[in-house]
Structure 1
Amino acid sequence: MRSFICACCLILGLGLPLFAQVDYHEEPVALPLAGDSLRGSLLVPSPAKTPGPLVLIIAGSGPTDRNGNNPMMQNNSLKLLAEALAAEGIASLRYDKRGIGQSAGAFTAEAELRFEDFAGDAAAWAQQLRQDRRFGKLFILGHSEGSLLGMLAARQAGADGFISVAGAGAPADSLIRQQLMNQPPMIQQAAFPALDSLAAGHLVKQVNPMLFALLRPSIQPYMISWFRYNPQLEIQKLRMPVLIVQGTTDLQVAEADARKLAKANPKATLALIPGMNHILKEAPADQQQNFATYSQPGLPLAPGLLHEITGFIWDNR
């Protein structure tokens, strides 16, 4: 059991803060898969307002675990988000993807992995959570690549609301091209034709050694499956309340991406968080200083983020 104190209001005339203490407890949970299980952490506020809202948090791309960390960088962004939601009386489930962290046993060989596998896992988590009578409305929150996964899972599982945080507004191949624009021309000239091929559904047989980490043969089937989805088309299909959250100092996903998503789903709410970067921390636009926050797990969430998310959830609970 852990305890948080959150300011509720100021007592007028005295200028003294009035605090409400919200406790929560953490429960280990598992989702059975063929051969093994996915593992996650369920944070439940106590005393719970039964049936209270529940948020399924989906991490971004690569070897990112339930806390928003990977072997190269520790920032605890998703852990901080889950704890902040619990402090506001909102339960959440975050989990390690197959092959990552405590879900390492649910490994799928890279050459066999498809984007739909991750979307299906998220939908299965949502369907399992639906069976827990402690909770009412189910919201799916996807961060970065998890945004697109969340769109697919939200439709499959019939979620009550969807939250995109730092989600791309164009197919993944377009995002990769944009990121490669900062590379030397020779890198771009080698990469762009290969990306064209993958976007068309064709494997690249001869990979330039300079691009092997990005376009190695074993990852190409996954990239093909990923590239076929357009986030603008997928968010357009959602018939549930939608919140689109984007930081203004995000160096990986631009504000324009969020606006594309909002245009595709005119009923969605768009929330721009001033000074928030890709890992949900407050950071300047300067690249070196911005990326330095990626390895500082002690930094708090960017101001304004929690307000937007909790406001959306309570308005639609």
Structure 2
Amino acid sequence: MYFPYVRGKQFELIALRDLCGLFPNDILKTSPVIEPVKSSSTLKSSLKELASKNVNFNVVINPRVGDLKNNRQVIIDVLTENLNHYKNYQLAVIIDAFSSRQLDTLIPFIEGLNLDYNGVTLIHNAETTTENIELLSSSLNVVYNLIYFSKTSRRYYREFEQNTRVSLDDYFKELSKNADYLDQESSFSEEYRYYQEDGFVGFGDFITIGDNYSDSGFLPRAVAIHLSYIDGTGKIKVKHFVSDSNGDTSDIGGKFAEALDKLVAWCNQQNIHTRAVEIFRDLKQRGHFPGLGTLKKLSIMNHIELVITNI
């Protein structure tokens, strides 16, 4: 099973919302993880849409970024108001140094919730003690343990029941400026091929966004479109399509057209036909610039489709 990890920003949520109706035969292959960053109308409508399609998902109740950091009750109120009696989701809890110190209040808080939900997903962003693991396992219905490998040791995952283990890591190689991606291609991962062999029931990643979070927006000098694909050896890679006229921040639509021309030409050459790529082709044909947020949405959609249709 695939666990794409998104922050609850507008176009990340819209990507999940748009995708959930496109893969009725693949719903059991994915369980998105949503770390809400604000109590927005998009968050509420996206949760309702996921529930309407009976998609399993995970909602972080102790986010580490955004407006809802340290405000878990707001998230619980959103779940209560918008999911009614829907049960096919997990409450997700980030386990790090801070939350490990707060288990004496966090566990009773979860136990006291008047919600229908499937169980709890623990996201291990740091290693905790064996005693804490035993306390969590005995107190809560832990369905999944997502082990963030870049932040834990390789042997840490052995502390958990095999039927709960999910590997998580950030495979997107982020560069400081969009222009730095010009004519570049990045390796991503092969987890989709080996996670079961390595003793996990699922695997997760931060898609083509990466784990780094920023809530500030600015006009870029260059427009970059990040497109995942599987190469001839079965490895997931990311092809970066970047505009050429990158001297200033003017004419963002023109910069998009430059990057889009490269993407469509390459996808035609490679015979790639995901839903997102077909939308990119339509945008080129119409000469339409949909906004930078839509580019992120389509990149996310392409990556998730690529993974779930190959596991």
- Shorter chain as denominator, the TM-score bin is 0.3 to 0.5
Q: Structure 1 length as normaliser, TM-score?
A: 0.34
More strand by share: 1
